[in-house]
Amino acid sequence: MDIAELKLELIAKIIATNDVVLLNRVKEIMDSYEPNTAVNEPTLAYEKTRFFSTEEQRRINLAVQQYENGECISDEEAQKEIQEWLED
């Protein structure tokens, strides 16, 4: 059984139980656990952080604001418009 299967099995058992004492014990164990990622989980050999320029961040913020204001169309609508443009 790999780690993903084990996690799913434990989650299923937790969901299925109504034993408050058991659930509190599991919570105590999980709360006190300090993961050792070097052993169980693979780490990324290379991680790159992307920083946006002032102009890029301004455009991102504008796009988010437009989305929040409902100033957008669905992908389906955009595809229809593109198809119409291509047909002309």
Selection from 52, 75, 48 nearest residue 62 by Cα: 52
Which has the higher per-residue pLDDT, 46 or 63? 63
What band does 61 get if pLDDT is binned at 50, 70 and 90? very high
**C-alpha span between 43 and 16 (Å, rounded):** 33
| 3-19 average pLDDT score | 90
Given this model, what pLDDT does residue 41 score? 54
DSSP the chain: --HHHHHHHHHHHHHH---HHHHHHHHHHHHH----HHHHS---S--------HHHHHHHHHHHHHHHTT----HHHHHHHHHHHHH-
Given this model, what pLDDT does residue 48 score? 73
Given this model, what pLDDT does residue 43 score? 57
